[in-house]
Structure 1
Amino acid sequence: MTLKVLLLLAIHLFQALAKPVEGEGPTVSLSAGTATGTSDGSVDRFLGLPFGTADRFDAPQPAPSWEGTYDASQYKPACIQKFQYPEEARNRTNSWFNIPGPPAGESEDCLYLNVFTPAGASEGSELKAVMFWIFGGGFSFGTGTLPLYDGTSFARNQDVIVVTINYRTNVFGFPGSPDKPLTEQNLGFLDQRLALDWVHRNIRAFGGDPDRVTLFGESAGSGGVEVLVTSPPDPLPFAGAIMQSGIASIAVPNRNSADSWKKLVRAAGCQTNDTLACIRALPALALKDIVERERLSFLAIFDGATYKRTGRADRLASTPDEPRIARVPVLFGSNADEGGVFVYGQTSIRAFVVRLLPTNIANIVNKVLDRYAKDNSPSPVNKQIAKIVGEFNFGCPAKIIAEESAKVGIPSWRYYFDAAFENTQIFKGSGAYHSSEINLIFGTYPRGGVPYQARVSKVMQKMWADFAKDPSNGPGWAQAPKVSIFGAGVRAGESGAGKPVMTMRHPGSIDRRCFLYKGIYKAAMFR
């Protein structure tokens, strides 16, 4: 027998062994067919379930049905990722937020989701609350398959069902092409909605309650959650919403995707009138390479359907009789050191603040600089810049939207995460940086740290789950404007022994500089 034949036999044998035998793992009957996952005895996992399909730059369509039993034992690829040059910044973003990266690589065939359930949960058992996770990444990169978002701990410890999804990002998700109708520009948001619709139609088969679905997300994922709240699908497919470090309705306008599309067309050398067809014809990785090297940004636009310009105004005008938005219970929050990852290496506070703030209100720059210099002196300049970015982009928007929600009678809670641990620091002094709470909430933090880390994780995870189980009663602390502080300011190298995990506080000391930005946020309502 030749070596080639032996190799082929070995490959076929491996493939046969890698596929679960029908009936071996937990099995569910879905609208598209039957799927078999895996179980460790306490948690059942169904990975890589297809919820949609889409050609490049087209709106997603429901995934087709399949024959036989679908193998849901392995993750499927992430959508195409984009990490911006220059090389140093690109490598830094990868090392901080993408190592280890997507376990199955990346592909344009990426509209898959993952379901984690307590073992044995089924349609015939008592239905469980569902937590629907939308990842962050600046609408440039990210995937629901990262180890950081493994839902095993949540499902095992809190008796909830966790769903993590993929959606298209960067040019593949928010192309900005003038040849696409306005309603097909925010493809990433359409992907999220289709995944949510899939959950609403299928989650009962996993033992999940379609009437108790809570959205939660961080950063751009949090923005995606808020967009679903302010531009809700009908009928409403969720009962609560948790927004971690990201508010879309109060954001200052970003760079224009339409301008990036024009630059992309030039860089790709498209000479034809049909530039959309020209870009579609490029190999995926060639398109990705152009977008990265040209440093092009493709972000969500106001389309009047998935993302409304009037989100904040609609919230303020919302009443039970004329809701305008989804009047579901909400939980907002931010971290103590959000800004550090965005200003790494910055040394000129004035130059950075001028770039950060809109040019039409540059007169506020001196007020901002003076106030932070007084409050943070003698903090290093970089720390002052980080604090400005953190409060302007995350902390103050969380405060304002939480309080405005409460003002119109929407049950509203707020948290502030203020803990840092040696085994999760991404650079020296990074503190409670942007996204650092996620591994505690999911229970995916590295083991072997101080006991206080495990205590914080246990409490936060339970409170997130409590919110999902009964959004009207909330996570277990007083509603806004009160704020729950997690972590007691513990920093890397400290044990946290004797420190409380959670304290309640009036937010005055946290929000004392938010008045500086009120004019900017108000202007953003009418941009």
Structure 2
Amino acid sequence: MTPAAYLALGLLNLIARAAGQPLASPSGNYPAGSIRPTVTLEAGLVAGTASPAVNRFLGVPFAAPPVRFDPPRPARPWQGTYDASRPKPACIQKFSYPDAARNRSMEWFNTPPPPDGESEDCLYLDVFVPAGAAEGSKAVMFWLFGGGFSFGSGSLPLYDGSSFAENQDVIVVSPNYRTNVFGFPGSPEKPRAEQNLGFLDQRMALEWVQRNICAFGGDPERVTLFGESAGAGSIEVLVTNPPEPVPFAGAIMQSGQGSIAKPNRQSADSWQKLAKAANCHDLACVRALPASRLKDIVERQALTFSPIYDGGATYKGSGRQDRRRSTAADPGRIARVPVLIGSNADEGGNFVYGQSNVQSFLSKLLPESSAKLMGTLLGTYPSDGGLGPVNRQLAAVLGDFNFGCPTKVVAEESASVGIPTWRYYFDASFPNTDIYPGSGAYHSSEISMVYGTYPRAGATPYQAEVSRAMQKAWADFAKDPAQGPGWRSAPEVAVFGAGVRAGRGDGTGMPAMTLEDPARIDRLCFIYKGIYDAATLR
């Protein structure tokens, strides 16, 4: 059974559900410049909006309104024309207190906020299509947002896929998925297979794409996943524990992975604290609470809810081992799809903002570390001069440990078993995208460059050049993952931005991308090998 079989199955399901109703099979009708482009999907007719180059279908349901703490269900058919002219609400967000940290996170990662607020009724997606696309002809890029599984929305203006559609001739699909307690509840009354609801939402959105994307002009055989941070982690979970049949042909992971992580034991504890604070003794009681009450409790108590190993329903603890054992002749339980993976030069700064106690922070980051390892870290990473809100020593350690060095491991291990693998490194900052003075190539800063949604006010010609180069590379990979993004495969690394920093030159005359041996980027990763191996290879 091939990915294209999803389309046939979708049509058969439509016939069975329709019980003789004269619904058309998926088809598109969106001439360039038309005012209301329409598509007929398995659930009914959808009308979007048009510009001369791009047609947008916003807030399209890929699932029914969810029942709190239950797996997603297919979208119900509708009568008449569904208005897809504006985004639907984000899923319920969680930004933890105290006020300073909460406000800072919202400023950095949620400004401007989701266009239509928040709601539990949130399982919708946006589709950006080159105007005039013929049925089944275009590569599809399926975006999964980041946010630490606590917040995020597929409809943030940052993720507007119009530039991709117009300039790269690809279709972009951006779904919502449930996060925090609504997406990863940790209740002991829920079976393990129903704990990772956010992952189940992502999979249902992918199934929807397989059954419906042809109507927009997309090729269901050429779907590439791309995502950042928690979205990238979600993608590696999909790669190492894929649905059957595999509904994607390539994977792009930006500053995140899912196979080099310790088991999550926080959600169960967080659930107990939530229930106690709400004066609830069972799941039914928590279900009945107003969503605003749940949100307030988890934010004020800073409770963490995130994915757990669920026995392989969506996420298993053996992903790294399965990849290392995989061969072309015997793939095992992973999807041997081409991979593009990378990180940013200054990933750690966002996460250590305002931290000053080096020993305390490192002890929390690496709670099982020996005194010898702590001494190695403090002696190897240059100490900070104490100026500014970000301790550079802490930022460098966290950036390597959580992002840069796991990128190295995933890239090397994928390439070593014959999976086509490419690697990038984003190393630039610009005055119009800095989030604090000296923030550099911080975590998430590459997203606006890839999407082409960076602020035009104050943009430099070099910034535009780097953005075009990154966007084209991502799209080239999506169009033909086996051929890659346009540079030599790993171990070499494509460095975007040439180390340009806001306030220190504008990049004039510098190349947008250079190829580099990974030795400089990975020079301290040997420190963490034992930690990764102990967590994931036992």
Q: Which bracket does the TM-score occupy, shorter chain normalised?
A: over 0.9
Task: Find the counterpart in structure 1 of residue 84 from structure 2.
Answer: 72
Task: Find the counterpart in structure 2 of residue 12 from structure 1.
Answer: none
Q: Deviations over 1:218-240 (max 9, x none)?
A: 00000011000000000010000
Q: Give secondary structure in 2 for the equivalent of 1:320.
A: coil
Cα distance in 2, alignment partners of residues 26 and 522 from structure 1 = 52
Task: Find the counterpart in structure 2 of residue 6 from structure 1.
Answer: none
Cα distance in 2, alignment partners of residues 248 and 194 from structure 1 = 19
Cα distance in 2, alignment partners of residues 378 and 174 from structure 1 = 40
Alpha-carbon deviation of 1:359?
1.9
- The answer on whether the counterparts of 2:263 and 2:317 sit within 8 Å (CA) in structure 1 is no
Is 1:108 the equivalent of 2:120? Answer: yes
Alpha-carbon deviation of 1:82?
0.3
Alpha-carbon deviation of 1:360?
5.4
- Among 432, 441, 444, which residue is 2:441 paired with? 432
Is 1:87 the equivalent of 2:96? Answer: no
Cα distance in 1, alignment partners of residues 99 and 386 from structure 2 = 29
What 5-or-longer segments of structure 2 have no aligned partner? 1-33
- The answer on whether the counterparts of 1:361 and 1:520 sit within 8 Å (CA) in structure 2 is no
Cα distance in 1, alignment partners of residues 443 and 270 from structure 2 = 26
Cα distance in 2, alignment partners of residues 447 and 235 from structure 1 = 42
Task: Find the counterpart in structure 1 of residue 313 from structure 2.
Answer: 305
RMSD: 1.3
- Among 117, 129, 151, which residue is 1:117 paired with? 129
Cα distance in 2, alignment partners of residues 377 and 72 from structure 1 = 51
- Among 329, 338, 342, which residue is 1:329 paired with? 338
Task: Find the counterpart in structure 2 of residue 7 from structure 1.
Answer: none
Alpha-carbon deviation of 1:363?
3.9
Which AA in structure 1 matches 2:398? V
Is 1:464 the equivalent of 2:464? Answer: no
Task: Find the counterpart in structure 2 of residue 159 from structure 1.
Answer: 169
Cα distance in 2, alignment partners of residues 218 and 514 from structure 1 = 21
Q: Give secondary structure in 2 for the equivalent of 1:392.
A: helix
Q: Between Structure 1 and Structure 2, how many residues are aligned?
A: 498
Alpha-carbon deviation of 1:520?
0.3
- The answer on whether the counterparts of 1:265 and 1:279 sit within 8 Å (CA) in structure 2 is yes
Q: Give secondary structure in 1 for the equivalent of 2:381.
A: helix
Q: Deviations over 1:440-489 (max 9, x none)?
A: 10010000311110000000000000000000000001111110100000
- The answer on whether the counterparts of 1:255 and 1:297 sit within 8 Å (CA) in structure 2 is no
CA separation of 1:230 and 1:382: change in aligned 2, threshold 3 A = same
Q: Deviations over 1:335-383 (max 9, x none)?
A: 000000000011122221111013254541111111113xx67686801
Task: Find the counterpart in structure 2 of residue 185 from structure 1.
Answer: 195
Cα distance in 2, alignment partners of residues 418 and 344 from structure 1 = 20
Cα distance in 2, alignment partners of residues 252 and 326 from structure 1 = 22
Is 1:317 the equivalent of 2:314? Answer: no
Which AA in structure 2 matches 1:64? R
- Among 39, 49, 55, which residue is 2:50 paired with? 39
Q: Deviations over 1:244-270 (max 9, x none)?
A: 000110123445200000001100011
Q: Give secondary structure in 2 for the equivalent of 1:475.
A: coil
Cα distance in 2, alignment partners of residues 86 and 193 from structure 1 = 34
Cα distance in 1, alignment partners of residues 104 and 372 from structure 2 = 33
Cα distance in 2, alignment partners of residues 405 and 46 from structure 1 = 36
Cα distance in 2, alignment partners of residues 192 and 419 from structure 1 = 31
Give the TM-score of the pair, scaled to structure 2: 0.91
CA separation of 1:318 and 1:361: change in aligned 2, threshold 3 A = farther
Which AA in structure 1 matches 2:100? E
CA separation of 1:245 and 1:223: change in aligned 2, threshold 3 A = same
What percent of counterpart residues are identical?
67
Which AA in structure 2 matches 1:349? V
Q: Give secondary structure in 2 for the equivalent of 1:402.
A: helix
Cα distance in 2, alignment partners of residues 70 and 181 from structure 1 = 35
Cα distance in 2, alignment partners of residues 379 and 180 from structure 1 = 47
Task: Find the counterpart in structure 2 of residue 276 from structure 1.
Answer: 283
- The answer on whether the counterparts of 2:309 and 2:316 sit within 8 Å (CA) in structure 1 is yes
Which aligned pairs between 1:415-494 and structure 2 lie closer than 5 A? 415-448=424-457, 449-493=459-503, 494=505
Cα distance in 1, alignment partners of residues 523 and 453 from structure 2 = 33
Give the TM-score of the pair, scaled to structure 1: 0.93
Cα distance in 2, alignment partners of residues 166 and 100 from structure 1 = 17
Alpha-carbon deviation of 1:167?
0.2
Q: Deviations over 1:128-158 (max 9, x none)?
A: 1000000000000000010000000000000
- The answer on whether the counterparts of 1:354 and 1:362 sit within 8 Å (CA) in structure 2 is no
Cα distance in 2, alignment partners of residues 420 and 74 from structure 1 = 32
- The answer on whether the counterparts of 1:222 and 1:247 sit within 8 Å (CA) in structure 2 is yes
Cα distance in 2, alignment partners of residues 174 and 122 from structure 1 = 39
Q: Give secondary structure in 2 for the equivalent of 1:35.
A: strand
Task: Find the counterpart in structure 2 of residue 59 from structure 1.
Answer: 71
- The answer on whether the counterparts of 2:384 and 2:392 sit within 8 Å (CA) in structure 1 is no
Which aligned pairs between 1:48-447 and structure 2 lie closer than 5 A? 48-53=59-64, 54-123=66-135, 127-270=137-280, 272=281, 275-303=282-310, 304-324=312-332, 325-359=334-368, 361=370, 363-373=372-382, 382-447=391-456
Task: Find the counterpart in structure 2 of residue 507 from structure 1.
Answer: 518
Cα distance in 2, alignment partners of residues 422 and 339 from structure 1 = 19
What 5-or-longer segments of structure 1 have no aligned partner? 1-22
Cα distance in 2, alignment partners of residues 420 and 377 from structure 1 = 21
Alpha-carbon deviation of 1:121?
1.3
CA separation of 1:129 and 1:379: change in aligned 2, threshold 3 A = farther
Q: Give secondary structure in 2 for the equivalent of 1:201.
A: helix
- The answer on whether the counterparts of 2:259 and 2:319 sit within 8 Å (CA) in structure 1 is yes
Q: Deviations over 1:59-81 (max 9, x none)?
A: 00111000011111110000000
Which AA in structure 2 matches 1:293? R
Alpha-carbon deviation of 1:519?
0.3
Which AA in structure 1 matches 2:391? N
Alpha-carbon deviation of 1:122?
3.4
Which AA in structure 2 matches 1:290? I
- The answer on whether the counterparts of 2:226 and 2:254 sit within 8 Å (CA) in structure 1 is yes
Which AA in structure 1 matches 2:477? F
Q: Give secondary structure in 2 for the equivalent of 1:488.
A: strand
Cα distance in 2, alignment partners of residues 351 and 197 from structure 1 = 45
Which AA in structure 1 matches 2:516? R
Task: Find the counterpart in structure 1 of residue 21 from structure 2.
Answer: none
